[in-house]
Structure formats: structure tokens, C-alpha cells
Homo-oligomer: A and B are copies of this chain.
């Protein structure tokens, strides 16, 4: 793999670190465990997809789905990033990042203010998916990523919808997670300062679902939404 460092072969449950997945700062916060990476990816709704256009960076939020070691992103066949990944192209270099903010960390010193977070950064090349079966699998994964189990409880895309939808694939090869967990890290000499310090956990999950006003009477809230 391009950029692989001189580390010994990794256990298959981890992604091999590379020059660009080993941070220059706080390397102790970096992790390569596949299960951890998958859990962070599966919990997110939106990724931030970065690519280069006319030499400048572009970062767009977009839905995504995961099937094993592959991520899928979709969009209109007319959208700019997806047009750049056509089968005739050599693929599009991308960086796909997913971040969860878990808590605000309020220290006594301004300097040690932080957040507890979990993020995954994926470097690689995105390719357009043209195989009809893989496209179906990817589109189901995109719907199930929003709510697990949902793809079986909705009308699948028809021919016209499929023709309007581009699907791109990014393999999970060059991947790292980065996390901050735990409490406040103040300097020992600051502990007596008269400032409140602690964690402020952010709320997670969702509120009560709101049915479409046009919903056919008698359709109950599905089980996959009642867990909250």
C-alpha cells in the first residue's frame, strides 16, 4: 500500500497504519481496530466527503452506507463530485470523515477546553459502481444506514430512479479512528481555581417520530423505530 510505514504485518482485525493515518500530534488518540472503526461509521448519519476540484479542496456532507469493508455514497448522476468518478475516469481521490461529538470538556483553564469525540478518517480512491447487483446492495445499505431494517420496509428504486442515481464506492484500506474520552485534564496548579469544571454530555438518539400527515390510517410505527 502506498505510504505504508515500516511496521510489521498487522493482525487482520486492524487497518495497517500509513504515513497519513498516523497523526503527528496525540498519536495515543489514534486507533486502527476494525471493530471500533465500524462502530463509529455505523453510528453516523452523515459523512464529510473531501475531494479536490480545480486544485482546491471541497468538503460536502453526504449520506453513506457500509457493507463490510466498503463504504458507499450516492447522489444524483448530475452532481459534481459524482460526475468526476465516471467509469472512464481513473477514480477520484477522496478523504471521507465521520465524527461524533460525545461531550464538551470544560477545564479550569481555557487551554485545556476540549471535546470528547470519536472520528474516523478514510483515505482512498472512489470509483463509480456500475454492476447492477452491487448498486442494489449499496442503495439498500444507504437506506439501512439511516434506520437499520428500513430497506425491507420501503419500495425499492425503480428503473428511472436507478438511472438517476450514481453510486460510488470507497474501500476501507487506509483508515484510522481518533478519539478523546475521559474527564478534564487540568494542570495540577489549576485545580484550586474557582471555576466549575467537568463534562457536558451531548444528547443522543431521536425524539418521537412524527408521522406523515398523508399516512394511510392504521399503519403503526414500525418496531425498528420504537427503540429510540
Contact = CB atoms under 8 A, between A and B. Distances in A.
Given A24-B80, A113-B154, A200-B209, 8 more contacts: A25-B79, A46-B117, A59-B95, A109-B155, A110-B155, A111-B157, A147-B200, A197-B212
A88 interface: no
A191 to B, nearest CB: 5
B58 A20 contact: yes
Contacts of A55: 52, 93
B57 A154 contact: no
Contact of A48 (B99, B123, B215): B99
A183 B214 CA distance: 10
Given A199-B209, A209-B198, A106 B59 contact: no
Interface in A182-207: 183-184, 186, 190-207
Given A25-B78, A59-B59, A216 B190 contact: no
A161 interface: yes
B119 A61 contact: yes
21 contacts: A20-B58, A45-B104, A56-B95, A56-B123, A57-B93, A58-B121, A61-B119, A63-B114, A109-B161, A110-B156, A113-B143, A113-B146, A147-B200, A153-B195, A196-B215, A197-B211, A197-B215, A198-B209, A198-B215, A200-B210, A201-B207
Contacts of A146: 104, 106, 113, 115
On chain A, which size bracket covers the interface? 35 or more
Contacts of A221: 196
